[in-house]
Structure formats: C-alpha cells, structure tokens
A and B are shown apart, each in its own frame.
Chain A
C-alpha cells in the first residue's frame, strides 16, 4: 500500500489526471453528441441501452490508447529520471515495484471508467429518459471494462517497462485502439484472440442488425461470465509473465 501511495505521490505534478479528464471529455463529448443526433433522428431509440452501446464502442478506440498513455507515463518516469537503480537499492522486491505500478495504473484507468458511468447516468437524466437509471447495467458495464483493463494494462506495462523507447508501447496502444474499434468487423474466431476486442465483447449491451433498424440487445450475464473468468485469467498470466520478465531484466 505504501508503494502505491509513493507512486501516486510521484504523479502529483505530472498532470496525469488532468490529461485523463481531457481525454475523457473528448470521448464522452463525442459519444453523447452521436447519441443526441441518433435520438433526434429517431426519438424511439432514446434509451440507456443505446447510450451504453455507443460508449462501449467508443471505449474500444479510446481506452487502449488512454491506457497506453497512462501506463507509459507511470513507467517512463523511472526510465527518464534514471531512477531504476535508486529504486532497486531500496529493500523492496522488484515484483513489489512492478505490482505498485500496476495497481496505480489500474486505479487511474478505473477512475476514468467510473467517470464514464457517472457521465452516462447524468446524460440520460438530462435527456429525460423514461426508464430509471439502470444501476445493474452500469455496474456490468464497469465490470466488463475493469476486467478488460486488467489484461490491457498488464500488456502495456510489460511493453513500457521492457522497452525504454516508449514509441513501441504507444504504437501497441494505437494498434490496440484500432483493433478495439474494428473488432466487431472481424470473424468471431479472430476477434477472440485480441484482448482489445473485449471492450465491446464484454459490454452488457450489443447491437443487432437483424431487421432494417439497429436493435440494442441486453446480453445475458450467464453467457458473459465464462469469458470474464477466462479474460481475468489471461490478464493474470500476462501480468505474471511481465513481472517475472522485468524482474530478471538487467537495469
């Protein structure tokens, strides 16, 4: 806990939270304006499901890049300040340092997700949606994001810690964002391979094009549960692999 506190302390003048807020403002603004246009064209489509589905698809693009930026920021300060040797002379294990950075990154990105959920509720409230705020759907939305983030953060941290040149980690994030936004176009077999595709894959609401109009279908939690468990396991494996690899790396 102390190590996480120190990581957060190191971030205090990095304006990371300001950047996250600005990033979210663009994403949320974009998602809400698209939803507003959709509602004005088709008032019948005004509902929480459309809003959550829109935000999930925007997350496919934005969150991998936001995660890459946050993780890179948290890891790069040690590369840039040449402070790895200093940290390693302290009586803490390398694994603990790795875990502290992982937890810090997870906290920052989870906070961003929480802000999204609150913004969704606020937008629906302002637009006067007939149904009450779907707390359960929003919780499922958050759960899907957090589980997907566990794997994505682990992958990004591995990249950011291993390569001093952060261009590679950010390029990975960019590819992730691209896969995230295009994932629904891939065949299911290919989609499953990419961790970034689960931003939409674990969304509680999906879009169906069965008829001429787009329909929003609430997914059954039971069908998503095995995927969530498997993805959490994958995230843990990536985290452990990254931690072991970085711990054995010479600094």
Chain B
C-alpha cells in the first residue's frame, strides 16, 4: 500500500517543475561559495576543507532547510487545493501511508539534491585547481546532512499539513534556521532539528563529531522523526480536515 502511495506522489510531482528549484539552489550556493573561496585563497588554505566551509555554509545553513520547506509545502499544497483533502482521505489507504509516502518522496528528492551538490562541489574544486584527494569525512557529512534533512522534512511536512498557506510554513522554517543557529552557538546544536543539520554536515566546523556526540546525533534524529511523524499521522487520523 505504501508503494502505491509513493507512486501516486511521484505522479503528482511529474509536471510540477519543482526540479528547477532543486537544481538552481545548489548551483547558486556552489557558485557563490567557489567565488568567495577564489577571492580569499590567501586565508582559506585547507583546500577541499576550506572550499566545503564556503559552499557548505550557504547550502547547509540557508538553502537546504528552505529548499526542504518549499518541497514539503508544495507536496501538501496539492491536497489543500481543489478539495483534494476529501478525496485523499476517502481513498482506501491508511493515513500513515499518505504521510509516510510524502516523507519518503521528500527523502528521495533530498538524496538527488545532495548528490547533485557534491558533484558541483567536486567540479568547483577541480576548476579552482584543487589537486588533493577529497576529504575522508565527505560521505559522513553527506549522510548526516541527509539524515538531518529528513528530520527537518518531518517538521516541515507536519507544519505544511496543518497550515493551508504555502508561504507561512516556509517563513517559519526560516525563523527556525536562526533559532538553530542560536542553539548551535549556545552549544546545544544536537537538540534542535535545524542545528542538527549544521552539526551533521560540518557546515561551521569540519572537525567532525566526537565518539560521545555521534550517538546523540543519531538518537536525536530518530527521536525527532519518530515523535513528529507519529504525531502528524495521529493528527491526520483524529482531526477533521477543512477541504
């Protein structure tokens, strides 16, 4: 049943042109990050690590969370339009299937975005003449970034399901970015979804997570995803929807 829900979600996205946004935002992040790296090569001397600090800052700190917010808002917008709530809730599929299908689709889109971003990072680095090998931490940054992205997706999907407006959940997502940045500065980065992305992707510090921090990172992501997804599905089952 979940497979059929996912397939339906893919079909809904077919003519949405959402791919244009998924492609454009990483390109802008990498372009600006590379330009900044090129202009400050005297200070940024750690080759790939320095380049990551530049491109990752814009991408992981600002663009990716908002990109996730836009994707989640779009994926629920289709249900908020044309009284589709009535139709989808009358379909012979469980509420969990509907919500999880959307969450999985956003997760797959995030994999594509992450892959595209790392490709651009590699091309950018090579164009700038970086000859050393790629950082060993790169797969870890990407995987942790994707996991934290899933956590943010849960938050945004739950918000966008509840709020009928397209723009408001995106705006709230932006506010959350700054709260996350504050949490990171206060050394509480492992306890807030948006700062989990900052920590996981090594956006502001490339030193990596310690042995104690790593399990906390995964635990917090699982906890957030579990609680928020369960809460959203429960709400979908128990509360009436205004179509």
Q: Is B215 close to A, CB under 8 A? A: no
Residue contact B178 to A171, C-beta cutoff 8 Å? no
- CB-nearest residue of chain A to B40: A185
The residues of A that contact B2 with a CB separation of less than 8 Å are none
Q: Is A170 close to B, CB under 8 A? A: yes
Residue contact A65 to B174, C-beta cutoff 8 Å? yes
Residue contact B168 to A165, C-beta cutoff 8 Å? no
Is chain A's interface secondary structure helix, strand, loop, or mixed overall?
helix
Contact of A170 among B170, B175, B179 (CB under 8 A): B170
The residues of B that contact A30 with a CB separation of less than 8 Å are 178, 182
Residue contact A68 to B66, C-beta cutoff 8 Å? no
In the complex with contacts A167-B70, A175-B28, A19-B80 CB distance below 8 A: no
The residues of A that contact B21 with a CB separation of less than 8 Å are 167-168, 171
**Interface residues in A31-86 (C-beta closer than 8 Å to B):** 62, 65-66, 68-70, 72-73, 76, 80, 82
Is chain B's interface secondary structure helix, strand, loop, or mixed overall?
helix
Residue contact B62 to A178, C-beta cutoff 8 Å? yes
Considering the chains assembled together, what is the distance between the CA atoms of A164 and B121 in angstroms?
33
Q: Is A233 close to B, CB under 8 A? A: no
Nearest-Cβ distance from residue A173 to partner chain B, whole angstroms: 9
- CB-nearest residue of chain A to B81: A80
Residue contact B58 to A185, C-beta cutoff 8 Å? no
Nearest-Cβ distance from residue B60 to partner chain A, whole angstroms: 13
Q: Is B136 close to A, CB under 8 A? A: no
Contact of B74 among A70, A167, A182 (CB under 8 A): A167
Considering the chains assembled together, what is the distance between the CA atoms of A66 and B25 in angstroms?
18
Contact of A19 among B73, B81, B168 (CB under 8 A): B168
Contact of B170 among A22, A69, A80, A175 (CB under 8 A): A69
Q: Is B24 close to A, CB under 8 A? A: yes
Residue contact A69 to B36, C-beta cutoff 8 Å? no
Residue contact B174 to A178, C-beta cutoff 8 Å? no
Residue contact B175 to A23, C-beta cutoff 8 Å? yes
Q: Is A127 close to B, CB under 8 A? A: no
Q: Is A166 close to B, CB under 8 A? A: yes
Nearest-Cβ distance from residue B146 to partner chain A, whole angstroms: 20
Q: Is B104 close to A, CB under 8 A? A: no
Name the residue among A27, A62, A69 with the largest chain B CB count within 10 angstroms: A69
Residue contact A170 to B166, C-beta cutoff 8 Å? yes
Residue contact A178 to B28, C-beta cutoff 8 Å? yes
Nearest-Cβ distance from residue A46 to partner chain B, whole angstroms: 22
Residue contact A68 to B24, C-beta cutoff 8 Å? no
Q: Is A230 close to B, CB under 8 A? A: no
**Interface residues in B58-109 (C-beta closer than 8 Å to A):** 58, 62-63, 66, 70-71, 73-74, 77, 80-82
Residue-wise interface mask of A (91-111) relative to B, using a CB-CB cutoff of 8 A (1 in contact, 0 not): 000000000000000000000
**Interface residues in A3-26 (C-beta closer than 8 Å to B):** 14-15, 19, 22-23, 26
Nearest-Cβ distance from residue A34 to partner chain B, whole angstroms: 10
- CB-nearest residue of chain B to A80: B81
Q: Is A152 close to B, CB under 8 A? A: no
Q: Is B134 close to A, CB under 8 A? A: no
- CB-nearest residue of chain A to B69: A170
Nearest-Cβ distance from residue B48 to partner chain A, whole angstroms: 21
The residues of A that contact B171 with a CB separation of less than 8 Å are 19, 23, 65-66, 69
Considering the chains assembled together, what is the distance between the CA atoms of A171 and B23 in angstroms?
11
Residue contact A174 to B25, C-beta cutoff 8 Å? yes
The residues of B that contact A72 with a CB separation of less than 8 Å are 166-167
**Would you mind naming 5 contact pairs between A and B with Cβ atoms under 8 Å apart?**
A14-B165, A73-B165, A167-B21, A170-B170, A175-B25
Minimum-distance CB pairs A-B, first 5: A72-B167, A69-B167, A69-B171, A166-B166, A26-B175
Given A66-B171, A167-B71, A170-B66: 8 more A-B contacts, CB < 8 Å: A27-B178, A30-B178, A73-B165, A76-B165, A165-B16, A165-B17, A167-B21, A185-B36
